[in-house]
Amino acid sequence: MKKLTKQYRDKTVKELTQETMILIEEIAKLRLSQKSAPAKDTNLLMKKRKQLAVLLTVLTEKKEIESLKNKKI
């Protein structure tokens, strides 16, 4: 997860929100597909959810930093 965190911290807030939307869509599709035909990797849904959690954490941090910078100026 450290690699993911480093990759996400290099991106802008706009890019992170786009990635969030993409991940949410992927998770929804995985949930639907697992009901009908389970995948070989049964842990894939859990991995995607964990990735989404890391992404949302970094996104919140970046937004908080931006709001602090705006208050100082």
Residue 1, pLDDT score: 65
Q: Has residue 6 been placed in a domain?
A: no
Enumerate residues 6+ apart whose C-beta is below 8 A from 58: 5, 8, 9, 16
Residue 73, pLDDT score: 61
Residue 11, pLDDT score: 92
3-state secondary structure of 48: helix
* pTM for the predicted model, two decimal places: 0.85
Residue ranges making up the domain that contains 30: 12-72
Residue 2, pLDDT score: 75
Nearest partner of 47 among 30, 67, 63, judged by Cα: 30
Q: Has residue 16 been placed in a domain?
A: yes
Please report, in tens digits, the pLDDT of each residue of the chain (73 residues total): 678 788 889 999 999 999 999 999 999 999 988 888 877 888 999 999 999 999 999 999 999 999 998 887 6
Question: How many C-alpha atoms does 71 have within 13 Å on its Cβ side?
Answer: 6
Q: Has residue 3 been placed in a domain?
A: no
Q: Has residue 2 been placed in a domain?
A: no
How many domains, the chain? 1
Nearest partner of 54 among 16, 12, 13, judged by Cα: 16
Q: Has residue 57 been placed in a domain?
A: yes
